[in-house]
């Protein structure tokens, strides 16, 4: 006993499929279907437990009412929170989400984009790992709606929604410097052509410059994004045993920071006395470690919300605008930015 289709309803009622379709789409009145007939159709629908087939409708209408979401890792709370908000907003507009993790793999990402297009998703939201934006240029040429989040490809001039990475990094680094710390390691993540990472590095560099300090390039390190837990301890060990022992860390994301914390605990390095630490990207954990970790907080939900909103607009209007949304970040001062600040906090707490 297979699932009933519109045809079954029509046949069993002796009317046409057209009529049934009209009634089902609430267009019975405007198409002059008598109330009585409409009632009968709906009755039959209930009786046969008919449910429309979205796939068939999608084929006919040329749209799937589905949005594709590609992030590097859905289990990173940063992306998980974005995903949640995107889903909420999309659901309000009757759109559903197919999500995929690229695992920070350029080629897999392209593969995923291809696959999502074959699935006829009406638009995509992507946190990209691409180095060059060729794939996106193609999409643009086809007027295919998409929005980049978090990571931008500035040359591309495509829809984008992210945060002011430069300022965030600048503020963080400046804060450390103002607290008397100057041997500040910058822990980046691979691949280092990502706009977010580059901008954060620029912020870091600018802060040094503005404070009249020279940068020691040995303190700028790149961690393999797929091997954080293993590499961070190695790198940190190096950084604290070398001649110019670091006195602070600016970490570009939450995963690296967590790995740093782990290292500190194990090696009994005290924050903030032995080591200053500020993280880009604020997570719950930073409020509960001792001391609490200062961080640059991103307006995560806003990113997701802005991204869907732009996408929905593009999908509707079929226009090809170029929205570039850069949201401000917030410096959350806790007790990890160096001894001076730490003492101030202690005082003001009493």
Partner DNA sequence: TACTTTTACACAATCGATTACGCTAAATTC
Partner DNA sequence: GAATTTAGCGTAATCGATTGTGTAAAAGTA
Chain residues that interact with DNA, rule: CB under 7 A: 2-3, 5-7, 14-19, 21-22, 24-25, 31-34, 36-37, 50-53, 56-57, 59-62
- Looking at beta carbons only, is 60 or 141 nearer to DNA? 60
Q: Evaluate whether 145 touches 181 at the Cβ level (below 8 Å).
A: no
Tally Cβ neighbours within 10 Å of residue 167: 18
- Looking at beta carbons only, is 25 or 242 nearer to DNA? 25
Q: Kindly tell me the burial class for residue 249, based on how many C-beta atoms sit within 10 Å of its own C-beta (0-12, 13-18, 19 or more).
A: buried
What residue ranges in 83-223 does DSSP mark as E strands?
Answer: 96-101, 123-126, 146-149, 160-163, 184-189, 220-223
Kindly write out the interface string for residues 112-141 of this chain, putting x where it contacts its own copies by CB under 8 A and - elsewhere: --xx-xxxx---------------------
**Stretches 93-101, 150-158, 217-225, 244-252: which one binds its own copies (CB under 8 A)?**
93-101
Tally Cβ neighbours within 10 Å of residue 16: 13
Q: Say whether residue 84 binds its own copies (CB under 8 A).
A: yes
> Phi/psi zone of residue 218: left (φ > 0), alpha (ψ -120 to 50 degrees), beta?
alpha
Distance of closest approach, residue 35 Cβ to its own copies, in angstroms: 26
Interacting partner of 75 out of DNA, its own copies, none (Cβ under 5 to 8 A depending on kind): its own copies
Distance of closest approach, residue 285 Cβ to its own copies, in angstroms: 4
Interacting partner of 230 out of its own copies, DNA, none (Cβ under 5 to 8 A depending on kind): none
Tell me the two tokens of residue 90: 């999309």
Instruction: Find the angle CA(309)-CA(163)-CA(133) to the nearest 5 degrees.
Output: 75
How far apart, in whole angstroms, are the C-alpha atoms of residue 251 and residue 277? 8
**Stretches 10-18, 70-78, 147-155, 326-334: which one binds its own copies (CB under 8 A)?**
70-78
Instruction: Find the angle CA(226)-CA(224)-CA(251) to the nearest 5 degrees.
Output: 110
- Looking at beta carbons only, is 207 or 232 nearer to its own copies? 232
Distance of closest approach, residue 69 Cβ to its own copies, in angstroms: 9
- Looking at beta carbons only, is 59 or 234 nearer to DNA? 59
H/E element holding 312? helix 300-317
Distances (CA, A) of 108 to 70, 76, 293: 10, 18, 35
How far apart, in whole angstroms, are the C-alpha atoms of residue 96 and residue 35? 33
- Looking at beta carbons only, is 41 or 310 nearer to DNA? 41
Distance of closest approach, residue 102 Cβ to its own copies, in angstroms: 11
- Looking at beta carbons only, is 63 or 93 nearer to DNA? 63
Distances (CA, A) of 118 to 37, 58, 63, 66: 39, 13, 12, 12
Kindly write out the interface string for residues 262-291 of this chain, putting x where it contacts its own copies by CB under 8 A and - elsewhere: x--x------------------xx-xxxx-
| Candidate residues 24, 42, 99, 320; the one interacting with its own copies per rule CB under 8 A | 99
Q: Which residues bind its own copies (CB under 8 A)?
A: 51-56, 58-59, 64, 66, 73-75, 77, 80-81, 83-84, 87-88, 91, 96-101, 114-115, 117-120, 258, 261-262, 265, 284-285, 287-290
């Amino acid at each position: 006993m297979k699932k009933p289709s519109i045809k079954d309803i029509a046949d069993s009622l002796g009317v046409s499929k057209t009529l049934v379709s009209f009634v089902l789409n609430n267009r019975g009145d405007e198409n002059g279907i008598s109330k009585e007939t409409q009632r009968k159709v709906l009755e039959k629908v209930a009786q046969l437990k008919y449910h429309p087939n979205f796939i068939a409708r999608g084929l006919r209408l040329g749209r799937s009412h589905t949005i594709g979401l590609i992030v590097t890792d859905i289990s990173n709370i940063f992306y998980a929170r974005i995903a949640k908000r995107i889903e909420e907003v999309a659901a309000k507009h009757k759109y559903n989400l197919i999500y995929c993790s690229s695992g920070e793999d350029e080629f897999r990402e392209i593969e995923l984009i291809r696959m999502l297009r074959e699935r006829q998703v009406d638009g995509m939201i992507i946190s990209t790992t691409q180095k060059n934006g060729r794939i996106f240029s193609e999409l643009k040429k086809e007027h295919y709606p998409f929005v980049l989040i978090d990571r931008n490809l500035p040359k591309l001039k495509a829809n984008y929604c992210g945060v002011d990475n430069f300022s965030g990094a600048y503020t963080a680094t400046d804060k450390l410097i103002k607290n008397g710390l100057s041997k500040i390691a910058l822990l980046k993540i691979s691949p280092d052509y990502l706009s977010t990472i580059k901008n954060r590095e620029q912020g870091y560099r600018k802060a040094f410059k503005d404070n009249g300090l020279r940068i020691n390039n040995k303190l700028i390190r790149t961690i393999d994004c797929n091997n954080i837990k293993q590499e961070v301890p190695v790198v940190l060990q190096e950084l604290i045993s070398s001649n110019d022992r670091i006195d602070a860390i600016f970490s570009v994301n939450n995963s690296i920071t967590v790995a740093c914390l782990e290292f500190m605990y194990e090696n009994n390095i005290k924050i903030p006395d032995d080591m200053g630490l500020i993280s880009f990207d604020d997570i719950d954990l930073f409020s509960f470690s001792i001391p609490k970790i200062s961080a640059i907080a991103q307006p995560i939900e806003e990113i997701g919300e802005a991204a869907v909103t732009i996408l929905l607009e593009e999908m509707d209007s079929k226009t090809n605008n170029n929205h570039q949304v850069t949201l401000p970040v917030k410096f959350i001062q806790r007790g990890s930015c160096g001894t001076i600040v730490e003492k101030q906090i202690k005082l003001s707490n009493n």
